Amino acid sequence: MGHQITVALAPQSHIAHREFTVSDGNAILCAGEVRYTFTVTNGRPAVTWANASSGFTPAEGPSVDVTEVAVRTHPKHEFQPVTGVAFDLLSAEVDDAWFLAQIEENAE
């Protein structure tokens, strides 16, 4: 009797950077760089009438899980992790497509 073995690989961690500014009206109060550490979970193909054995499901694209957000305000400074509301704000304003594009850009 054969057994099927499934191997789950740990998601690979990726890093992307972008600049930020904090302003009040026309005055820039602070500027710096944000470093995002994230993983990508692969999507899945659609289950259609041609391959359905236990129901139909739509296709799902890959999804991004941001695991760390860190900032620095000068290139000589170390990145400092942010938590709480700052983490939520900095990670929520970036969509998955940007993170996926960064992986492609870094692969070139």
* 102 pLDDT higher than 80: yes
Burial of 96 (0-12, 13-18, 19+ CB in 10 A): middle
Residue 68 lies in a domain: yes
In sign, the C-alpha dihedral spanning 62, 68, 73, 76 is: negative
- Considering its fold, how many domains does the chain have in total? 1
pLDDT tens digit string along 21-68?
889 999 999 999 999 999 998 877 777 766 667 777 777 888 899 999
What pLDDT, in 10s, does the model give residues 11-31?
689 999 999 888 999 999 999
Residue 34 lies in a domain: yes
Range of the domain at 86: 13-107
Q: What is the pLDDT of residue 73?
A: 94
Give strand pairing partners of 35.
17, 70
Please state whether 55 falls in left (phi above 0), alpha (psi between -120 and 50) or beta.
left
pLDDT, mean of residues 72-88 = 94
Instruction: Tell whether 3 is covered by a domain.
Output: no
Strands 63-72 and 27-41: antiparallel
The answer to whether 65 and 37 are in contact (CB under 8 A) is no
pTM of the predicted model, to two decimals? 0.74
* Residue 35 placed within a domain: yes
Note whether residue 2 is domain-resident: no
Q: Residue 7 domain-assigned?
A: no
Does a structural domain hold residue 4?
no
Domain membership flag for residue 67: yes
